[in-house]
Amino acid sequence: MSVQQDKALQREKIAKRAEREIESGFYVNLGIGMPTMVANHIQEDKKMVLQSENGLLGIGRSPHEGEVDPDLINAGKETVTASISASYCSSAESFAMIRGEHLDLAILGGMEVAENGDLANWMIPGKVIKGMGGAMDIVHGAKKIVIIMNHVSKHGTPKILKECTLPLTGRGVVDRIVTDRAVIDVTDKGLVLTEVAEGFTVEEIKESTGAPLIISESLLEKSY
């Protein structure tokens, strides 16, 4: 298996596990990048609504060949489909939904997460960026924030740390972290390891995490 294939499988694995965070009745925002992949794994029996900050309420799965509408995009400028009951609004109305705390859940990507729930996911100093996007509003407006990302960087360094080194998106905003290796909850007592992905051990998770971990009494192993 090539490195690219392995990375693609990891991303699908994370997105599929993140889908389990969505419940029927939820209004959900999916961040740009890997979080948008979650839409392809949502179970049909879940009656929920995906919201995009660019003004689409009712995002569907990614379009198949022949279904692509270049005018139908999400906030990351990726082409999407719309559900049968979808509606459209201005970005101003969309952000009123976000700032009005009408989102039950936001699943976002992350560069770094600190043990107290601080999140850094909008820029790396010295790199050209298009702007901060809507993440700063979303992390303070959604009722629950789940961050999905690889457990370590491409250089093998931990992305879950005692303190973030990159510019923050929000302080103390993260509730749960889902990586290719584990599911970790952010609590008042510290980071709690609740699930271990297939192919990894508790010791490997502890060694690849840059902050102390509390092992849950109800730890699930090989859970995804």
Using 50 as the pLDDT threshold, list the residues of the chain that sit under it: none
For 194-205, give the DSSP string.
EEE-TT--HHHH
Residue 126, pLDDT score = 78
How many CB atoms are located within 10 Å of the residue 134 CB?
22
Backbone angles phi, psi at 138, to 5 degrees: -65, -45
* Digit-coded pLDDT (tens) for 164-185: 999 999 999 999 999 999 999 9
The pLDDT mean for the chain works out to 94
The whole-number pLDDT of residue 3 equals 61
Residue 170 DSSP label: B
Whole-structure pTM value: 0.95
What pLDDT, on the 0 to 100 scale, is given for residue 5?
67
SS3 annotation, 14-41: HHHHHHCCCCCCCEEEECCCHHHHHHHH
What is the structure's pLDDT at 4?
A: 67
What residue ranges define each of the domains in the chain, with the CATH number in brackets? 3-221 (3.40.1080.10)
> What is the Cα–Cα distance from 17 to 10, expressed in whole angstroms?
11
3-class SS at 8? helix
Contact 107/21 with Cβ under 8 angstroms? yes
Among 114, 182, 145, residue whose Cα is nearest residue 31: 145
pLDDT at 132 (0 to 100): 73
DSSP 62-88: PPPTT---TT-B-TTS-B--EEEEEEE
Q: Which of 12, 19, 23, 53 is catalytic?
A: 53
CA distance 218 to 216: 5
Express each pLDDT in 115-155 by its tens digit: 999 999 998 777 767 777 799 999 999 999 999 999 999 99
207 catalytic residue (yes or no)? no
pLDDT computed for residue 129 by the predictor: 72
